[in-house]
Amino acid sequence: AQSVTQLDSHVSVSEGTPVLLRCNYSSSYSPSLFWYVQHPNKGLQLLLKYTSAATLVKGINGFEAEFKKSETSFHLTKPSAHMSDAAEYFCVVSDRNAGGTSYGKLTFGQGTILTVHP
């Protein structure tokens, strides 16, 4: 069974400082991993995805994540936070079966609320 643990429920940073949101995962097969962001009263927006190509994944709005199989981690980073980054972030895993097909069942972490101070 697949699972995701986001290690921090809240992260607070100052504008212009780096962001680190931590995520560990558990998966039976080779997983697909994603980060989504949710702004208040909005749906979920895909930030980036890992699907067994490069282990360092670049996403939108300057976000990156690195897949580390030995540590079962997929932490999200950004060099310099912006006020507009304030939102809730979800680390998500989707198991692929032995044939490599990714099915439509996503397992979400509990979310990390990012606060950005001026």
Q: Which residues bind other proteins (CB under 8 A)?
A: 34, 36, 42-46, 49, 51, 90, 101-111
Give the Cα separation of 113 and 99 in Å (integer). 36
- Looking at beta carbons only, is 104 or 118 nearer to other proteins? 104
The structure tokens listed for 92 are 């998500």
Q: How far is the CB of 41 from other proteins (least distance, A)?
A: 9
Q: How far is the CB of 99 from other proteins (least distance, A)?
A: 12
Give the Cα separation of 113 and 71 in Å (integer). 23
Give the Cα separation of 57 and 74 in Å (integer). 10
- Looking at beta carbons only, is 15 or 38 nearer to other proteins? 38
